[in-house]
Amino acid sequence: MTDGSDRGRNETERNRSDASMTAPDLEAWFVREVLPLEPALMQFFRRSLHNRADADDLCQDVYVRVCEAAQKEMPHPVAPFVFAVARNLLINRVRRDQIVPIEAVADLDALGISFDEPGPDRSAMARQELRRLQAALDQLPRRCREAVLLRKLEGLSYREISARMGISEDTVSEYLTNGMYALADFLHAEPAGGKP
């Protein structure tokens, strides 16, 4: 006859054995539990990244993180854990990619770097969008533009912007709200010479 303490002991022993999983056991677990999720994982990344190489890289990063975590403690259930890791890595990638000064991107030709570029039509459209964004930023009041650039390009928090600009966090919030609305209005307005 087993009592509750025996069941609890068996559960504890199973968890300890998970934590001390051997490399062949970990590999078998990975092939059985994680690899079947790859098609859904790749679809998730491709929808967000539009670049197969980035999706492949992030998928490998997910595998590394999942294996490192499994060496310490087996994730149960596996699929939600894998997709949580994927989501977090994607968020980190997007955050890192967004913090780029506009000046660094405004004139790519000046860099003199040879790389696979999109067609001339896409390059022209991208430059046109950058010019429109710069024109929209130039129309913002100076302090409002400063707050928007500190938040969106440098990634500073409201508190950091408040300290740097010498204004209250409420004023920072007001500048950011007004600035983002003004930018959206400007960028979504019909360009000059466009359709009525």
Q: Looking at the whole model, is its pTM more than 0.85?
A: no
Q: What is the pLDDT of residues 63-102, one digit of tens each?
A: 999 988 888 888 888 888 888 888 888 888 877 766 545 5
Written as six digits, the tokens of 147 are 């707050």
The phi and psi torsions of 141 (rounded to 5 degrees) equal -60, 150
User: What architecture does CATH give domain 4-98?
Assistant: Orthogonal Bundle (1.10)
Q: What is the pLDDT of residues 112-144, one digit of tens each?
A: 444 455 567 777 777 888 888 888 889 999 999
Written as six digits, the tokens of 186 are 């400007």
Domain range annotation of the chain: 4-98, 103-188
Of the options 1.10.10.10, 3.90.1150.10, 1.10.10.2160, 3.40.640.10, the CATH number for the domain spanning 103-188: 1.10.10.10
Evaluate whether 66 touches 85 at the Cβ level (below 8 Å).
yes
Residue 90 to residue 28: CA distance in whole angstroms: 27
